[in-house]
Amino acid sequence: MTPPPIQQELDQLKETINRHNHQYYVLDDPQVPDSEYDRLLHRLQQLEAESPELITADSPSQRVGATPLSAFKQVAHEVPMLSLDNAFDEQQLRDFDRRVRDRLGDETVVNVRYACEPKLDGIAASLLYQDGILVRGATRGDGSTGEDITQNVRTIPSIPLKLLGSGYPSTLEVRGEIYMPHDGFEKLNARARERDEKVFVNPRNAAAGSLRQLDSKVTAQRSLEMCCYSAGWIDGGELPGQHDEILKQFQQWGFRINAEMQVVDGIGACIDYYHQLAAKRDSLPYDIDGIVFKVNSLELQRDLGFVTRAPRWAIAHKFPAQEEITQVLDVEFQVGRTGAITPVARLEPVFVGGVTVSNATLHNMDEIQRLDLMSGDYVTIRRAGDVIPKVVAVLKERRTDEVRAIKMPDGCPVCHSPIERAEGEVVARCTGGLVCEAQRKEAIKHFASRKALDIDGLGDKLVEQLVDEGLIQSVSDLFHLQAEALAALERMGEKSALNLLVAIEASKQTSFPRFLYSLGIREVGEATALSLANNFGTLDALLVSDEESLQEVPDVGPIVAHHIVEFMHNESNLQIIAQLRESGLSWPDIEVKEKASLPLQGQTWVLTGTLELMPRNEAKQQLQTLGAKVAGSVSKKTDCVVAGPGAGSKLTKAQDLGVEVIDEVAFVQRLERYAEA
């Protein structure tokens, strides 16, 4: 019997919208503009409003809208959700592999094939499908019993309400990790700060808090995703015999799987994979806390079996912890290059993120008030990669009567000049300027840094020594240092002194963007310095610019323009610039091109992997000179990706989105063609 026309249209709309959801939220490859998607969804909602008896649970219109719960129901897992044993070093991983091979008892098995997957730092969840329709979502709980979070998982766009395609078992349980990507986490906390609400410590806590909302409308406002990693209860059908093939089958049925997954031969390759992911960990758009290694063959998994509450065929090799608990011993205030007064927590030393940490930034007094931090408190600190450690939460339940309030000092801790906080700014600043020794030191360190004048051998400690000994008072004094005075410094010597003077002399030949960046003008970083140089061409042209003309430069707004004019009209600064030029510091002027004539004007490029023919900074600068914006992530708006050896997730995403990808040789050839044009 042929269904009535309205039922036919409803079925077609649901199938089409589900397909578009899969393309957008799982494959990151939208096939229609948002306006077309909105039109389809509006038509579906219109038909369902006219015929509410035809609304089904798998309809895309039913992701959000259920009545808030009073409490979560308990769910018994038909197949227990087991935990994994952990390995914390390479030897423990090799011991795991040895146990696997010993238990298999086949001396011919030299290298076991392992599936390698990043261990997402989120919340384990179970999704149950009956005849392809999502009927239940549950947390892991204690492994045997979890909580029913069906209403909330239905709001997650990367979870299909109805499986795509065909051939799936009549009963299928899919297990995975629900997590919050970095972008969604930052936006969530930004909204919380605007509303003066409590912020989340990390993405995992944010994901957990979002899933445990009794009102699914709140969950729907959070940026959650799910990545599946295994099957649970199966009935009325079969799955492939290899773990990676199961995940690829899940992908065809509409689920997201991790693009970083690989299958390798032997434990040596597993260790190589661990180091590769550890190196790119901080560039991933989500948190991972280790790698999961699983014997890929399901037949071998069955042979290996389980011990207590963990499988013998899988293990998690954990990364060094990025968060730890320690005590704030004291809070000191440091003075930066621009006079910014920054509170720094002195900590009871703790090992976190692979290093021992004894200091953490507190940013400003507003942050201290937001945290409700007191000296003597126990705190959670976080360190990811090379990021400066920061205090993310105060453990108030461990607070004692011996804690002390933290107060901003009345005067600069270095020069005792008054401290001011401009209206609308969160940063308090020392008003001493170059009278303040701390600001002088920081300004000289910045001037000599790698991205500025790049004076080899002039490190932070030597700068402090030179200022303390009275050998330099400003950056211009660097070019008048004498070998005898340098050699007399502690741990210096004649050879080191001569090497430093050679490096200072070499730094006199620089570029206009580097020189602008070296001056340390507030809010003028590398990209802004390059834009200013390309726009004005010469220092003399920049010196006579006004705020209106400066705001025509890309990346320069009213605040930055004001800082530039203020710096360039300051007599002391002009005197130092003149002294630098008299000392022989020089650079070639830049030919100012019309914006429309720049070959890459308006384009967005991404550099990924290892560049072997030129330094990454040089490649970035050349692209910016040609008018391109160099981004750190790939999106559908990216015009081109330059992929060198070792390119990972950015290359994969570019290929998935159909973005143009070229290697470094083709990139250099293209730059040469632009130079000849």
Separation of alpha carbons 365 and 359, rounded Å:
17
Beta strands 262-265 and 74-76 are unpaired
Separation of alpha carbons 36 and 491, rounded Å:
70
Separation of alpha carbons 293 and 116, rounded Å:
5
Asked if 315 and 323 touch (Cβ cutoff 8 Å), the reply is no
DSSP state of 296: S
Phi, psi values for residue 177, rounded to 5°? -115, 125
Residues forming beta bridges with residue 127, ordered by sequence position = 137, 174
Q: Write out the H or E segment, with its range, that includes residue 38.
A: helix 34-50
Asked if 51 and 11 touch (Cβ cutoff 8 Å), the reply is no
The token duo for 282 is 């901080």
Is residue 119 annotated as a catalytic residue, yes or no? yes
Specify the amino acid at residue 125.
Answer: A
Helices 90-104, 266-280: crossing angle, 10 deg rounding: 150
Separation of alpha carbons 650 and 631, rounded Å:
11
Separation of alpha carbons 154 and 436, rounded Å:
59
Where do the H-state alpha helices sit in 449-492? 460-468, 483-487
Asked if 184 and 285 touch (Cβ cutoff 8 Å), the reply is no
Asked if 341 and 361 touch (Cβ cutoff 8 Å), the reply is no
Among 119, 445, 629, 650, the active-site one is: 119
Nearest to 341 by CA among 449, 414, 391, 267: 414
The token duo for 639 is 């015009």
Separation of alpha carbons 149 and 157, rounded Å:
15
Phi, psi values for residue 326, rounded to 5°? -155, 180
Residues forming beta bridges with residue 640, ordered by sequence position = 605, 660
Phi, psi values for residue 658, rounded to 5°? 75, 20
The token duo for 65 is 């809208």
DSSP state of 509: B
Q: From the CA atom positions of the chain, what is the Rg in Å?
A: 30
Indicate which residues carry an active-site annotation. Answer: 119
